[in-house]
């Protein structure tokens, strides 16, 4: 059971909190959640009722289409902290009118803090977000399987599939176009939740990548980032 502590956070209104979803480490859905980031590495999960039996580690997936294939692992604190926040304004009035006529009431919420090292890993292993179908060949079942790659970097990639695999499974994957394909070996390192029912994300690391293959991947990542940057600026 979690012990309650009185706690103050910089957030004063629930309207300033972000929306997200929590997943178990097996990528099954846990609950919706409101949250705020205290720093790049720490988060406050906000619950309207006292949570019971939260796991030690969870995935947090922020709302928004850009996060459909991105989630971050947080290790949760053992205690539940109680905090008073200004409740969300009544939707029947405009925000200005509601604030002027009737200040939003304060209400107690339950806070669970979490810390992640995923942010440092993302910084260390820069990747670009892509979406392309390609062939993989698992060592345990060498027949061709089609998957969708959703991000790729110099240290590995993420693919999405409706089939079930496990960390440690090894495979060969075809990267880039059919005119000049690159076949590389990889190992599934982590499971990752995705916002597509019946599918799961698989974070992979390269195995025995030679210098020529590494140079091609680095060049692809760099060129893709440049093109995406131009698109964002347009």
Split the chain (234 residues) into runs of 10 and give each run's mean pLDDT.
46 78 93 89 90 91 85 90 72 49 74 84 73 94 93 94 95 85 94 89 95 92 84 70
Query: Residue 195's pLDDT is what?
Result: 87
| Ordered structural domains, the chain, with CATH | 4-121 (2.40.10), 125-233 (2.40.10.220)
The answer to whether 152 and 128 are in contact (CB under 8 A) is: yes
Question: Phi/psi at 232 (nearest 5 deg)?
Answer: -65, -35
Q: Report d(CA 157, CA 161) in Å as an integer.
A: 13
The pTM score is 0.77
Helix or strand holding residue 145 (H, E): strand 141-153
Report the candidate in 106, 200, 191, 130 with the shortest Cα–Cα distance to residue 161: 200
Query: Residue 103's pLDDT is what?
Result: 60
């Amino acid at each position: 059971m979690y012990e309650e502590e009185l706690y103050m956070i910089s957030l004063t209104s629930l309207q300033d909190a972000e929306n997200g979803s929590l997943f178990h480490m097996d990528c099954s859905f846990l609950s919706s959640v409101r949250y705020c980031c205290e720093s790049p590495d720490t988060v406050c999960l906000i619950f309207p009722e006292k949570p019971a039996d939260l796991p030690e580690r969870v995935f947090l997936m922020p709302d928004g289409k850009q996060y459909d294939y991105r989630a971050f692992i947080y290790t949760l604190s053992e205690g539940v902290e109680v905090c008073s926040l200004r409740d969300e304004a009544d939707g029947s009035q405009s925000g200005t009118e509601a604030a002027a006529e009737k200040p939003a009431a304060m209400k107690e919420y339950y806070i669970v803090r979490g810390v992640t090292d995923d942010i440092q890993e993302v910084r260390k292993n820069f990747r670009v977000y892509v979406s392309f179908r390609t062939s993989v060949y698992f060592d345990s079942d060498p027949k061709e399987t089609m998957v969708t790659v959703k991000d790729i970097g110099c240290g590995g990639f993420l693919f999405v599939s409706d089939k079930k695999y496990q960390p440690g499974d090894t495979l060969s994957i075809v990267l880039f176009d059919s005119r000049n394909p690159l076949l590389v070996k990889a190992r599934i390192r982590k499971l990752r939740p995705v916002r597509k029912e019946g599918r799961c994300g698989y974070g992979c690391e390269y195995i025995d990548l030679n210098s020529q293959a590494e140079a091609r991947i680095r060049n692809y990542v760099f060129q893709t980032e440049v093109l995406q940057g131009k698109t964002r600026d347009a």
